[in-house]
Amino acid sequence: QQQVKQSPQSLIVQKGGISIINCAYENTAFDYFPWYQQFPGKGPALLIAIRPDVSEKKEGRFTISFNKSAKQFSLHIMDSQPGDSATYFCAASEYGNKLVFGAGTILRVKS
């Protein structure tokens, strides 16, 4: 059972453009929604996270938008750079428990 659906599978963006990755979840008990960045041969690294009591969170060039009623959240990467090229995973969890990950989005930023 796929509890977190992520799209697109892959994304190509020009340098300086906006990268947008979307996720949808099913379990309304989820109350923590992080995004992870993973480079080849490395473990996932936490990028930014949000809780459902806010609709948006911004950290530098990275913004999470959250729509509780639609059970959807998205990651926006502004001014995308070649160094942002990586695989991005959305995830969700109930407090203190296991993370449920999306299938991942391979982002390539063309210079």
Partner 1 sequence: GAGVSQTPSNKVTEKGKYVELRCDPISGHTALYWYRQSLGQGPEFLIYFQGTGAADDSGLPNDRFFAVRPEGSVSTLKIQRTERGDSAVYLCASSSRDSNTEAFFGQGTRLTVV
Residue of 47, 64, 93, 107 that binds partner 1 (CB under 8 A): 93
Cα angle for residues 98, 55, 87 (degrees, 5° grid): 50
Of 43 and 83, nearer to partner 1 (C-beta) is 43
Instruction: Measure the CA–CA gap between 94 and 8, rounded to whole angstroms.
Output: 25
The residue length of the chain stands at: 111
Q: Is residue 19 part of the contact set for partner 1 (CB under 8 A)?
A: no
Q: Is residue 91 part of the contact set for partner 1 (CB under 8 A)?
A: yes
Q: Is residue 47 part of the contact set for partner 1 (CB under 8 A)?
A: no
Instruction: Measure the CA–CA gap between 23 and 89, rounded to whole angstroms.
Output: 9
Residue of 14, 16, 18, 42 that binds partner 1 (CB under 8 A): 42
Chain-centroid distance of CA 31 in Å reads 15
Instruction: Measure the CA–CA gap between 100 and 82, rounded to whole angstroms.
Output: 28
Instruction: Measure the CA–CA gap between 8 and 104, rounded to whole angstroms.
Output: 8
Residue of 25, 73, 80, 102 that binds partner 1 (CB under 8 A): 102
Piece of 14-22, 58-66, 68-76, 86-94 that binds partner 1 (CB under 8 A): 86-94
Binding residues (CB under 8 A) for partner 1: these are 6, 32, 34, 36, 41-46, 49, 89, 91, 93, 95-104
